[in-house]
Amino acid sequence: LDITTIRHSLAHVMAKALLELRPGSKLAIGPSISNGFYYDLEIIGDFSTNNFIELENKMKKILKQDLKFEMHYKSIKEASDFYKAENNIYKIELIEDLEKQGEQSLSFYKLGDFVDLCKGPHVTSTKDIPKDIFKIDKLAGAYWRGDEKKPMLTRIYALCFETKEELETYISKREAALLRDHRKIGIELDLYMISEDVGKGLPMLLPKGATIRRILERFAVDEELKRGYLHVYTPVLGRTKLYEISGHLTHYKDSMYPIMDIEGVDYVLRPMSCPHHFMIYKNKPKSYRDLPVRYAEIASMYRKEKSGELTGLIRCMGFNLADGHVICTKDQLKIEFIKTIELVEFLMDKLGLSKITSYRASLRDELKEKYVADSSAWDFAESTLIDILNNTNKQYYVSHGDAAFYGPKLDIQLETVTGKDETIFTIQIDMIMADRFNLEYIDADGSAKKPIIIHRSSIGCMERILAFLIEHYAGAFPLWFAPVQVKLLSVSEKHDTYLDSIYNKLLENNIRVEKDTRNESIGKKIREARLQKIPYIIIIGDKEIENNTVTVRNRNTQNQNVLNSIDFINKIIKEDKDKVLELNI
């Protein structure tokens, strides 16, 4: 039995059960969805989450009854009269639409005394559905037909999977993920905020979130500089003609913001920084000796998202990508591509994400319609990508149809806390843009040639990697990128001078330290610091001053260790510098 059919059949069962509990309620629609099903209805009387068990029990009773889904037809008039009798404006509207589409008779399904307009298919009998594979999930308001000028209905969501085990796994994974949701932790730890006045899809990083971003950014930029990248700054606006040349205006228009006319010149918020970097390349003539050229930038860009899909730091109206373009000869392509993979792998290793990585080779689909035509260039780029993955012994899978419109790409996927793969880093081979933007270099024989371009991100999009790390670590970040690394707590005010001497030494060594010298109990100070998930909490009282020590509380173990204060400071500096992922004190 197909799970979609089961889910949809259960939607009828739920509607029948609800009508028994709340007679006179009016049905609208009840489709299956990816984790279950819902039904939109106008409910007569109160209905809240308190009634879920009652509704579930009613449904289970119906399932036990071995009721058959029996189909019959009604003419448009019969159907319409049927719903006029109960004054159901929703079904009447559906029937009017079906009539306009030329339907003459409509299929209805009967389930005991319950009748519903529906195309099917359904299970044969309610006893075909196991009683323990569904759960009423939540209530939501839903405008009839998604139109805010139309009545608001109640949507009852239910989860449904093929087995009880699958249902339970889904629920427990979702609960675990909710606890780690970056939107929850991000607010609790004061990492970012969203202001309705600024805009729903425009998150702002608060000082602590900004600290994490700055550390990650410096880390990525420094590593790129070591590996031969040249960093640039380019503007978020560009003339529209750049994107006409690149083809984004044709292939990518739905993701771009409206064009701005400024004194007769068209500008657009950039969805990509590539053309800006190409213009930098063209600023001076290049010879084969200059290649490869590697430009990089933490580049702001703006892409349109539907307002309903804007979520936290993951789906935003704009974002900041650790972007870069390697412009090289055909002979240099393989080695340069491998270097970009090595850079991403190095960064992921330091972030503690290596173990949850997978590789996806995104190629054209069979039809090849939505891609820029130049078959031989595509064939070369695709086979180079596959060769590289085979030669470097990467475990990868191929995904047809996920290529960019101008070239194949390697997507480096990370597994989220719910077990889903998300693309966090991308490396693309582009044989098209050099031609379009007329990028050239003079080869050894004096002839002008077109280079190949690798588009790549190193640490990905700053907002996305931040969201990912928040969820991966549930806000308990490794020391090296924790916004506050050490918190000093004094037992009473007579300990403040000694506390300050340690505080200043840590500050001088660029350790991110906070102090709590309020006149509060030490127990309260510890509890508050723990909620902030600070790696090390330091307690300073009489004994510590007497022996020139500190008492260190480790976030993970809750162990308290007494260390000589200078030893402690040196250990912290070393753990920070070495970017160790575990807490070792």
SS3 letters across 296-314: EEEEEEECCCCHHHCECCC
Q: Which is nearer to Zn ion, 294 or 455 (CB)?
A: 455
Closer CB to Zn ion, 41 or 583, in the complex: 41
Q: Which listed residue (79, 117, 118, 136) binds Zn ion by CB under 5 A?
A: 118
The Cα 48–Cα 300 span in angstroms is 44
* Rounded distance between C-alpha atoms, residue 343 and residue 313, angstroms: 24
Considering only the stretches 190-198, 449-457, 481-489, 519-527, report the one whose residues sit in contact with Zn ion under the rule CB under 5 A.
Answer: 449-457
SS3 state of residue 211:
helix
- Answer for which of 155, 182, 183, 455 binds Zn ion (CB under 5 A) is 455
Please say which residue, 189 or 274, places its beta carbon nearer to Zn ion.
274
Sheet (strand 114-117) strand order: 70-75, 105-111, 114-117
CB of 557 to Zn ion, least distance (A): 45
Cα separation, 117 vs 105, whole angstroms: 11
Least distance CB 114 / Zn ion (angstroms): 11
The residues, any chain, with a CB within 8 Å of residue 210's CB and separated by 6 or more, are: none
What is the total residue count of the chain? 585
3-state secondary structure of 290: helix
Q: Residues 356, 531, 201, CA angle at the centre, nearest 5°?
A: 60
**119 versus 420: smaller Cβ distance to Zn ion:** 119
Judged by CB under 5 A, which stretch of 31-39, 117-125, 402-410, 470-478 contacts Zn ion? 117-125
Give the interface segment with Zn ion, choosing from 36-44, 112-120, 415-423, 511-519 (CB under 5 A).
112-120
CA 99 to chain centre: 42
At closest approach, how far in Å is the CB of 455 from Zn ion?
3
* Segment interacting with Zn ion, rule: CB under 5 A, options 115-123, 160-168, 503-511, 553-561: 115-123
Number of residues lying near Zn ion (CB under 5 A) = 3
Residue 182 sits in the site that holds Zn ion (CB under 5 A): no
Contact 112, 105 (CB under 8 A): no
Distance CA(242)–CA(282), nearest Å, equals: 14
What is the closest distance, in whole angstroms, from the C-beta atom of residue 456 to Zn ion in the complex? 8
**Smaller CB separation from Zn ion, 411 or 544:** 411
Choices 447-455, 481-489, 491-499, 577-585 (CB under 5 A): range interacting with Zn ion: 447-455
**Shortest Cβ 325–Zn ion spacing (Å):** 5
DSSP conformation letters of 10-42: HHHHHHHHHHHHSTT-EE----EETTEEEEEEE
Q: In angstroms, what is the minimal distance from the CB of 116 to Zn ion?
A: 6
Region of 131-139, 286-294, 452-460, 540-548 interacting with Zn ion (CB under 5 A): 452-460
CA proximity to 200, closest of 303, 311, 304: 311
Given a contact cutoff of 8 angstroms between Cβ atoms, the answer to whether 103 and 74 are in contact is no
Cis (ω within 30 of 0) for the bond into 275?
A: no
CB of 163 to Zn ion, least distance (A): 23
Min dist. Cβ of residue 404 to Zn ion (A): 9
- Asked if 205 and 216 count as a contact pair (C-beta separation under 8 A), the reply is no
**Beta-strand pair 486-490/536-540:** parallel
- Subset of residues 267 to 286 that bind Zn ion, contact rule: CB under 5 A: 274
x/- mask, Zn ion, residues 397-436, rule CB under 5 A, reads ----------------------------------------
For the bound state, the minimum distance from the C-beta of residue 120 to Zn ion, rounded and expressed in Å, comes to: 6
- 429 vs 550 by CB, closer to Zn ion: 429
Residue 30 C-beta: closest distance to Zn ion, Å: 7
* Residue ranges in contact with Zn ion by CB under 5 A: 118, 274, 455
